Structure 1
Amino acid sequence: MIQINSVNSEVLVSWPGFITELALLAFAIAVHRRYFSNLSDIPGPFWASVTRLWHVWIILEGKQNVRLKALHRKHGQFVRIAPNEVSVCHPDGSTLLLRANLHKGDWYSVTAVPDYRFQNPMSTTNPKVKKALSKHFTAGYALSQVLKREPDVDENIEHLLRWVEKYAEDRMPMDLDRFITYTTFDNIGSALFSEPFGFIRAGRDIDGTLRNNVALSRFAAVAGFFIGPLRILINPLNSWLLLLPMGRLYRTTSVAIKKRLNNPEAHNDMVAHWLGAHQKSGELSLRKIEAQANVNVGAGAEPVSCVYHL
């Protein structure tokens, strides 16, 4: 009978040697990215040229706009902000890039909320597919159509002002940031579904919908840079279990769409135009409408939130 002796793991794996090899590999990659990449001649921070983590850090720090503005002042119109990314500050830059019909980066995949099943123009990286999909949604964003919801927006703002007056009368401090967030989301609800979500009227976050709003913004800002793990993490099961920040957003939007579809009196909102496109063309499915509504609710609050800083 042959006896097999156990072999010490140190014989199979030399941990110091393994760590040394990893360090040498990381060093070689860093040198290649810094000095031998096609972007090596574009100026920028040293760490930005060797790792994406520099860019992720300034995003999470909340000072990306300030940092990039300072870098463009220092280096000019083109600044390298990652091993494979350049920040362009040139008057003709956006026009030339859009005309080139280039594929968008994988980062945009994160805007398929809550998971890959819900593709929208923003998450679609193929320019031809994106253009074909966008044409179905364009009519809903026409200024003439959006202005038809102005009375509803005015009503939401009136609710905000009532809360301001109440806090003033009670001589109590007011978390204006929260109340403007409530107003913003209700305005989006009015424009999309002919009905606000009810946050500003109630003066609170209903069902904890907005509780993870800050976490969702930070997650969406950086998750797209790690597309491999992202595709594993974001899946229909996690969406259903509400394990990720976008799960609650999806639940809120899904409920609003169902109410909207069962509301025959709703009209002149964005969804009305999209449903019209759905009826005219089989290319625009109800899921794509839901996907567009999801990204509108999630991203729409960001630009309007600038009111808080005025």
Structure 2
Amino acid sequence: MLTFRLAVSACGLLVVARLVFFLIKSFTSPTRHIPGPLWARFTRLWYFRRVALGRFEHENIQLHQQYGPIVRLAPNMYSIDIPEAVNTVYGIGSKLPKSGWYDAWKHPSPDAWTMFPDKDIKRHAQTRRVFQGLYSMSSLVSYERYVDECADVLLNRLSLFSKSREPINMGHWFQCYAFDVIGNITFSKPFGFLDRGEDVSGLLQALHKILAYSTLIGIYSSLHPYIFAVANFFGVGGAAGRTYLAAYVKGRISQRKAEQARNEAKAVSTHTDGSPDDFLEKLMIKNKDAPSKVTDYHVFMMSMSNIIAGSDTTAISLSAILYYLIKHPHVMSKVREEVDLISDVGAHLSFKESLEMPYWQAVMKEALRLHPATGLPLWRTATKGGIELNGQFFPEGTSIGLNTWTAHYNKDVFGDDAAEFRPERWLEAEEEGGRKLAQMTAYYLPVSEPIC
């Protein structure tokens, strides 16, 4: 009985000691004056709950309008809206590593890593150098044929819907289109979403589980290894989704290796139809030429990243563009007029042709400004010696993040009408040139790889 009482007393003293330490640290920290919601000062549960509700991107904008350029979202976690800090925090030369939030975006194994959640600055930079050519504009343009093939299937499905006058869920069909495009670009084979109009092999569900799991568990990233192990064991949630997608990608890679072996034995080219090399083919060529530099794991990791990162962001962006075009008929009319002047009826609009359409370029920019694909701060950690931003010092270990929604609704950068859809703002800025255009371009971060 005495032993039990001593144990209880010890636990109580430990709790009190931790509370006292927390209070002393909170009220002596150089960040103690940073404003924010009351409960955000004491626990991450406030931030967790707001993210779980699913509209934090809008709330994040309101918080900065209420409290200013720096807002506390949780103990030691601060959202920023400082245009001058973008390069310091996210630039290629930045020394601020990714925070623990990114740990939940990868397999808990220390040997498993991918580009987006990689916290190793040196390795991330090396990987970028090795594979950046695969994402160059000339490389991306070479995939137009794969994109056009999927566009033809989508247009055919929409034509059938229009004839039958059935309502169309364009969000769903853009998701199907995006997945098939990424599949076609990566593996020269669409997943089949457009043909079937439904989730093929549970891939969409798997991806959605991964995104929801990683977004939320990342807030308590220290729990990720344990939650992942339990969820994976029972085959539920984001852990199961990640395992499923990984197995799918590995299967496609094994299938391609078998095809290559058969073709080599028969001295037959992989692409007998004259189509360009797909993403996987380019990876495997790099692997064959320099296996120590581009390993089998790199081939898997980059293929997996294409699917997870490429499909959802593409679908969101397409949905945003269509939404604003439908909501603003006069803008839709101007885009149609510009298309008619550039492209032959029935022909695919090429990337090169689209560059000759200034109004269409402005429409895309404006839609992705108002509805970027990412909706949370992308966290970085202050290193030894801390960092000062906008006159505020952040000590070592502090998490700092910029939400692209907050950046894109900044009135000092985009004007008092920043919340309005007005493509003309980009054309006006280009005509004026100078500081205004440079400022808008620098704070326009819809799908910026360095920020991720």
Give the TM-score normalised by the residue count of structure 1: 0.84
Match of 2:76 in 1: 84
2:296 paired with 1:286: yes
Matched, 1:40 2:28: no
Partner of 1:153: 147
What amino acid is the match of 2:113?
Q
Counterpart residue identity of residue 304, structure 2: N
Letter in 2 for 1:69: I
Q: Work out whether 1:306 is the aligned partner of 2:306.
A: no
Post-superposition shift, 1:219?
A: 0.8
More deviation in 272-281 or 290-299?
Answer: 272-281
* Aligned partner (choices 250, 253, 259) of residue 255 of structure 2: 259
Q: Which residue of 1 aligns with 2:85?
A: 93
Q: Which range moves more in the overlay, 252-261 or 181-190?
A: 252-261
State the percentage of identical aligned residues: 21
Work out the CA distance in 1 between the residues paired with 2:174 and 2:108.
Answer: 25
Partners of 2:175 and 2:312 within 8 A in 1: no
**Residue among 175, 180, 204 paired with 1:181:** 175
Q: Which residue of 1 aligns with 2:429?
A: none
CA RMSD of aligned residues (A): 3.1
1:235 deviates by 5.4
Q: Matched residue of 2:249: which SS?
A: helix
112-121 or 163-172: bigger deviation? 112-121
The count of aligned residue pairs is: 302
Alignment of 1:46-57 (within 5 A): 46-57=38-49
Contact 1:54 1:82 in 2 (8 A): yes
CA offset at residue 60 of structure 1? 1.6
Structure 1: 5+ residue runs without aligned partners? 1-6
Specify whether residues 24 and 231 from structure 1 end up closer, same or farther in structure 2 by C-alpha distance, changes over 3 A only: same
Conserved? CA contact 2:108–2:225, under 8 Å: no
Residue 279 (structure 2) aligned to one of 259, 270, 279: 270
1:51-94 superposed Cα distances (whole Å, 9 cap, x missing partner): 11222222221112111111112222222222122212112212
In structure 2, the partner of 1:63 is 55
Specify which of 195, 198, 208 is matched with residue 202 of structure 2.
208
| CA spacing shift, 1:247–1:175, aligned 2, 3 Å | farther
In structure 2, what is the Cα distance between the partners aligned to 1:157 and 1:47?
A: 48
CA distance in 2, matches of 1:238, 1:117: 18
The code of the aligned residue for 2:217 comes to A
Judging changes above 3 Å, is the alpha-carbon distance between structure 1 residues 12 and 236 closer, same or farther for their aligned structure 2 residues? Answer: closer
What residue is the counterpart of 1:250 in the other structure?
Answer: 246
Whichever residue aligns with residue 4 of structure 2, its letter is: L
CA deviations over 1:194-221 (Å, ceiling 9, x no partner): 2221211222211222124333221111
Structure 1 CA distance, aligned partners of 2:115 and 2:206?
24
Letter of the structure 2 residue corresponding to residue 93 of structure 1: A
Cα separation, partners in 2 of 1:285 and 1:155, compared to 1, 3 Å: same
Contact 1:209 1:249 in 2 (8 A): yes
In the aligned structure 2, how far is the partner of 1:26 from the partner of 1:66? 35
Decide whether aligned partners of structure 1 residues 165 and 22 sit closer, same or farther in structure 2, where only a CA change above 3 A counts.
Answer: farther
Matching residue of 1:296: 306
Q: Secondary structure at 1:207's aligned position in 2?
A: coil
Q: Indicate conservation of the 8 Å contact 2:142/2:276, yes or no.
A: no
Contact 1:239 1:247 (C-alpha < 8 Å) held by counterparts: no
* Corresponding letter in the other structure for 2:189: E
Deviation at 1:14, TM superposition (A): 9.5
Residue of structure 2 in register with 1:230 after alignment: 224
| CA distance in 1: counterparts of 2:108 and 2:177, whole angstroms | 23
8 Å contact 2:150–2:181 — kept in the other structure?
Answer: yes
Aligned to 2:123: 129
Structure 2: gaps spanning 5 or more residues: 261-269, 322-452
**Could you report, residue by residue, the CA deviation over 1:74-123 in whole angstroms, capped at 9, with x for unpaired residues?**
22222222212221211221201233322211221223258554312222
Other-structure match for 2:161:
167
Q: 2:213 is matched with which residue? A: 219
2:249 is matched by which residue type in structure 1? T
Residue identity in the other structure for 2:282: H
Relative to structure 2, which stretch is displaced further, 152-161 or 105-114? 105-114
1:233-288 per-position Cα deviation (integer Å, ceiling 9, x unaligned) = 43599389686221222233222333344352274333333333323431321112
Deviation at 1:41, TM superposition (A): 2.1
Quickly say closer, same or farther: Cα 1:295–1:43, change in 2 above 3 A. Answer: same
User: What is the TM-score normalised by the length of structure 2?
Assistant: 0.59
